[in-house]
Amino acid sequence: MDPERAPGPAGRSDPGMTTVEYTLGTVVAAAFALVLLNVIEDGKVLKAINDLILGAINSAT
């Protein structure tokens, strides 16, 4: 028996489940990216990230 098409708990084949999982994962990743984008675009957070990067560059030279 093909493990991709193994019967589910009720004995039914559930080959579409992986598609649903990938779709849900993609939607969650896109929502998380939007949240991160909104956080990064905040002036305080952007300044803190900029200061962190500049501090690392200045300490390396």
Higher-pLDDT residue of 28, 18: 28
The predicted model gives 17-43 an average pLDDT of 87
- 11 pLDDT higher than 70: no
**In angstroms, what is the C-alpha Rg of the chain?**
22
Regarding pTM above 0.75, the answer is no
Residue identified by tokens 């093909």 is 2
| pLDDT at 9 > cutoff 90 | no
> Both tokens of residue 27?
């939607």
Q: Which amino acid is at 43?
A: G
Stretch 19-44: mean pLDDT = 88
Q: Which pLDDT score is estimated for 54?
A: 94
Res. 13 pLDDT band, cuts 50 70 90:
low
The DSSP 8-state label assigned to residue 3 in this structure reads: G
Per-residue tokens: 1: 């028996």
